[in-house]
Amino acid sequence: MAIADLIVSLQSNPYFGAGFGLVGLTAALAAARKSVLIAWSGFRRYAFVTCEVNSKDKSYHWILEWITRKSSRTQHVSMCTEFFEDEAGRISTRFAYIPSPGIHFFIYKGTIFRCERVREQMDALAGRPYELVTLTTFGRDKSIFNLIFEEARSIALAESANKTATYFPFGHEWRVFGQARTKRSLDSVILDAGIKEALVSDVERFLSSSDWYHERAPKDSLILLEDIDCAITSHKADETTLNRWQGLSRVTYSGLLNTLDGVVGSDARILIMTTNHIELLDDTLTRPGRVDFKIFIGDASDHQLKKAFMRFFPCSSEIDGDRFVNHIRQSYPQPISMARIQAHFLAYRDDPKLALQSPIM
């Protein structure tokens, strides 16, 4: 049979014609679908701008709080419990609703935004799920995202203004320890005459003379190492002291020195260390260059007693402060700590006269 005759016979076959038409239609639809996807992908590439923020980025919580305010009408939310502490130490609770994982829409400055929040698998290092927030809007101007992040940052900083936040290391990141506390007035810190002023002056001089600090270091932050003698194994420690901390994870002495000013150390940093046993610290740790300013805070001095009394009882006079100092020195000749003085004030907080006359308990 000739090829032409074969083609004619196949064309006259209704089953072959139907099958060939179905295959052709399927191929045409597949090609059309692929063309639409390519066209849509190209359109999205040039007609939309997208910004992604993952949960490991510092601005993630800022932008999530900002989106919560802009998406207040969304019907799909997740519960977030927040705790707050006032100046008196009272804890209050607030329940906040944040957009749940999924797609949400909001309008900002007349522009419609598509927000997609994705929660993936648990991050083993962070101890919480890895999340990703994607913001998409029509246009090609990315500066709109700068406005969003600046506004989100301003809102977050306004909430923590005049407060002190404490951070602790968790894996490869820093996390806030508890809630930010209201800054304590410097006037409430009562030290011996000249000590507080000298310390503040030294810190201010450092901050004003270090361009590197202003450009790179975290703003208004410092590193605090409390009871440094307990964190490291000193060469001066006796066997009793070593046995006291046996089995506990401690910082190596060489590791601490390298962190302070070794290869892994960094410049332009404010470091404060406290200890109750400075005699246990090696001279290499406290030498000039590592520790440039030392302050001894001992038992209450006459200056501290007078200032503490006048601050706790604002209606008192300079004469009352001097009378209180004489009363303490005569009735309690031994050295006394400021903690005991504060307890004495609390016991007679409603009667300054009794505080002037009563013995220290």
Is pLDDT larger for residue 185 or for residue 343? 343
Give the C-alpha separation, 269 to 207, whole Å.
9
Tokens of 239: 């066997």
- The string of pLDDT tens digits covering residues 229-277 is 777 765 555 555 555 555 545 566 777 777 666 544 455 567 888 888 8
Predicted pLDDT of residue 216: 45
Per-residue pLDDT tens over the stretch 162-197: 777 777 666 666 666 666 777 777 777 778 777 888
Residues 282, 285, 288, 294, CA torsion sign:
negative
Report pTM.
0.51
Which of 52-61, 111-120, 249-258, 316-325 is predicted with the least confidence, judged by mean pLDDT? 249-258
Which has more pLDDT, 2 or 117?
A: 117
**Structure tokens belonging to residue 206:** 């450092």
pLDDT above 70 for 104: yes
The domain segmentation of the chain, as residue ranges, is: 3-47, 48-168, 186-286, 302-357
Is pLDDT of 105 > 50? yes
Q: First and final CA of the chain: distance in angstroms? A: 123
Q: How far is CA 167 from CA 10, 84, 86, 241, in A?
A: 80, 16, 19, 29
Cβ contact 61:156 at 8 Å: yes
Residue 40, token pair as written in the block: 């849509």
Region 68-85: what's the mean pLDDT? Answer: 71
How far apart, in whole angstroms, are the C-alpha atoms of residue 97 and residue 75?
Answer: 10
**What average pLDDT score do residues 30-35 get?**
72
Mean of pLDDT values over 204-232 = 67
The pLDDT score that the predictor gives to residue 106 is 83
The angle subtended at Cα 201 by Cα 158 and Cα 216, nearest 5°, is 50
Long-range contacts of 75-84 (CB under 8 A, 24+ apart): 76/100, 76/102, 76/104, 83/179, 84/179
Mean pLDDT of 152-166: 78
